[in-house]
Amino acid sequence: GGAAPPSLARVHSLELVSLEPGAAEVAAAASGSARAGTDARVCPICCEARVDVEQLPHWETAGDVSDHRMCGRCRQTYALNTCPFCKEVLAKDELLRHISSFIDSVSARARADDPDPNELAALLERWQTFEMELDGQPTVLRRVTRLIVEDRAFAARLEDGVRHQDTWLRDMAGIIFRFHALAEDGELAVSPAAARLLSAAVETILEPFERTPPVQLHGHYYGALYTQAVVPWLCAWRGGTRSR
């Protein structure tokens, strides 16, 4: 017949009163943080409950990717361009900026009245650097290349160059050789029209050198064309794509 135990609410109230001055505010803040923690998700990478766990932005999806998530800290430190769960390409801002910048560079140099062959050749060096950064990520390489090849501005500039047999095609031959090789070997899924355009561009580049007699140019251009042909092969060999 003893007294009834105090309610939990009353005990909690007494505990707060007995704390040191200012501790009640700290306890209240901690309680609020605990309530906010209910909105947190567990990051499947670091296994910590965080409020900034978000779904990874996939370029294309095959099935349900709603659980393919990372917290902000893991996203910042994740260096690859593919989803760690399904290996699909992620739509990262830096990749999109690279595509846009590359297409703009090609268009600007092709539109020039007297294109600088050294600037055009430098595009191959830029692409080679990009492929080296994607070492071991052939899926990303194929996706980025397809987006460039099927871009309307890039295709229009390439088609115009083929129609007028412009020399700027020769001076950036390495890029066209690389794209054409990927399509020809079945590693680049592009539309038939895009594949035909790449083939036509390659023929436009090589035809002057296959004439009898071949086009008379300074030896620099012959050496440059050789380099423009070798570098794409090296990119393919290093990147694990076909190099036949």
pLDDT average, residue stretch 15-29: 43
Q: What mean pLDDT comes out for the span 25-32?
A: 44
Mean pLDDT, residues 211-236: 85
Give the mean pLDDT of the chain: 79
Q: Would you say residue 10 has pLDDT above 60?
A: no
Q: Note the pLDDT tens digit of each residue in 171-206.
A: 889 999 999 999 998 888 899 999 999 999 999 999
pTM of structure:
0.64
Query: Residue 244 — very low, low, confident or very high, per pLDDT cuts 50/70/90?
Result: low
pLDDT in tens, 44-61: 999 999 999 999 988 777
Give me the pLDDT at residue 38, please. 52
pLDDT at 36 over 60: no
* Residue 126 clears pLDDT 90, i.e. is over it: no
Residue 243 has what pLDDT? 60
User: Residue 30 above 60 pLDDT?
Assistant: no
Given a cut of 80, whether residue 207 has pLDDT beyond it is yes
User: What does the pLDDT average to over 127-144?
Assistant: 81
Phi then psi for residue 79, to 5 deg, are -90, -20
Question: Looking at the predicted structure, is the pLDDT value of residue 20 above 80?
Answer: no
Residue 110 has pLDDT above 50, yes or no: yes
